[in-house]
Amino acid sequence: MSYLETARKQAEALKTKDKVRILALETSCDETAAAIIENGRVILSNIIFSQIDLHELYGGVVPEIASRAHMEACDRVIDEALAKAGMTLQDVDALAVTYGPGLVGALLTGVSCMKGLAFAAGKPLIPVHHIEGHVSANFLTYPDLEPPFLCLVVSGGHSHLVRVADYGEYHLMGQTGDDAAGEAFDKAARVLGLPYPGGPRIDKLAEEGDPHFLKLPTPKVEGRYDCSFSGVKTAFLNAVHGMEQRGEPLPKADLAASFRFAVCDQLREKTELLLRDELEAGRKPALALAGGVSANRELRRQMTALCEKLGVPLYLPRIDLCTDNGAMIGSAAYYQLRRGALADLSLNAVPALPFVS
Ligand code: KG4
Ligand code: ZN
Q: Relative to the CA of 204, which ligand 1 atom is closest? A: 26
Are residues 117 and 128 in contact, defined by beta-carbon separation less than 8 angstroms? no
Residues 128 and 165 in one domain: no
Domain count for the chain: 2
Q: Which amino acid is at 20?
A: V
Residues 80 and 176 in one domain: no
- b/e sequence 300-318, b meaning 16+ C-beta within 10 Å: bebbeebbeebebebbbbe
Q: Relative to the CA of 198, which ligand 1 atom is closest? A: 14
Residues 6+ apart with CB under 8 A from 120: none
CA-based torsion, 224, 228, 231, 232: positive or negative: positive
Residues 151 and 188 in one domain: yes
Nearest-CA residue for atom 21 of ligand 1: 292
pLDDT in tens, the chain (357 residues): 899 999 999 999 999 999 999 999 999 999 999 999 999 999 999 999 999 889 988 988 999 999 999 999 999 999 999 999 999 999 999 999 999 999 999 999 999 999 999 999 999 999 999 999 999 999 999 999 999 999 999 999 999 999 999 999 999 999 999 999 999 999 999 999 999 889 999 999 999 999 999 999 989 899 999 999 999 999 999 999 999 999 999 999 999 999 999 999 999 999 999 999 999 999 999 999 999 999 999 999 999 999 999 999 999 999 999 999 999 999 999 999 999 999 999 999 999 999 987
Nearest-CA residue for atom 3 of ligand 1: 323
From CA 313, how far away is CA 144, in angstroms rounded? 13
Residues 204 and 222 in one domain: yes
- Residue 294 Cβ inside 6 Å of ligand 1? The answer reads no
Residues 209 and 306 in one domain: yes
Residues 151 and 202 in one domain: yes
From CA 155, how far away is CA 289, in angstroms rounded? 10
Residues 175 and 218 in one domain: yes
Residues 167 and 303 in one domain: yes
The CATH number given to whatever domain includes residue 181 is: 3.30.420.40
Residues 130 and 10 in one domain: yes
Choose which residue among 185, 203, 297, 329 to substitute to test ligand 1 binding: the one with the highest number of ligand atoms within 8 A of its C-beta.
Answer: 185
Residues 233 and 246 in one domain: yes
- pTM of this prediction? 0.97
Range of the domain at 194: 147-317
Give bridge partners of residue 174 from the DSSP assignment: 161
CA-based torsion, 44, 347, 8, 3: positive or negative: negative
Choose which residue among 28, 98, 267, 323 to substitute to test ligand 1 binding: the one with the highest number of ligand atoms within 8 A of its C-beta.
Answer: 323
